[in-house]
Amino acid sequence: MNKTKTQRQQLFGLSADATFLNLFDQPTFSGQIEQVFRKAINISINNTLFTLLSAELDNAPNSCRLLNNDLSKLNLKEGEYIYFCNKTLYLGKYYFISFSFCHPWQPNNVCFIPENINKKTYLSFLNTQISVIDVLLNREGHSLFHYHGDNLFYLTAAKN
């Protein structure tokens, strides 16, 4: 009997947030690849968006940084199947991610200094940030994270 064994390339997770790491507590799960960019790959699992990031970027909520720098060079396409089994995440037909070197990522604590609230530069900074968010929310259907179509957030990430 001639058996053909599929060979997959191993990718390595470097760091991941607690939500991503909690996926490992599930026996199995599956999902699909949503978008592939140079520095990020968005995957959906149980209607939740997770992001695989290039090593060049810092972690974010629901993310895992990979050892790779250019994720667009991987042979992955939107809609491909992903699944998790035995502490390994399988991506499409050709890849799997090992988390043996992956460490937990914790976001920096935001420190609010009440004395700064009345400073002109701080108020100007806050007003600018609020204006940017308002524009995005009005343009993007009241969500900063609507990840389908021509969303400004993901188009900008794709350019970087």
> Which of 59-68, 75-84, 146-155 shows the lowest mean pLDDT across its residues?
146-155
Going by C-alpha positions, the residue among 76, 85, 99, 94 that lies closest to residue 29 is: 85
The residues spanned by each domain of the chain are 9-104, 114-159
Please report the pLDDT score of residue 116 as a whole number. 82
Buried residues in 105-122 as b, exposed as e (16+ CB within 10 A) = beeeeeeeeeeeeeeeee
- Asked which of 71-75, 122-126, 139-143 is least confident by mean pLDDT, the reply is 139-143
What is the rounded CA–CA span in Å between residue 117 and residue 50? 34
Q: Tell me the average pLDDT across 107-113.
A: 75
**Residue 62 contacts residue 50 (beta carbons within 8 Å):** yes
Which residues are CB-contacts of 72 (< 8 A; sequence separation ≥ 6)? Answer: 36, 37, 38
pLDDT at 4: 42
The single residue listed with the structure tokens 């940017």 is 132
Distance of alpha carbon 76 from alpha carbon 41, whole angstroms? 9
Average pLDDT along the chain: 83
**pLDDT above 70 (res 159):** no
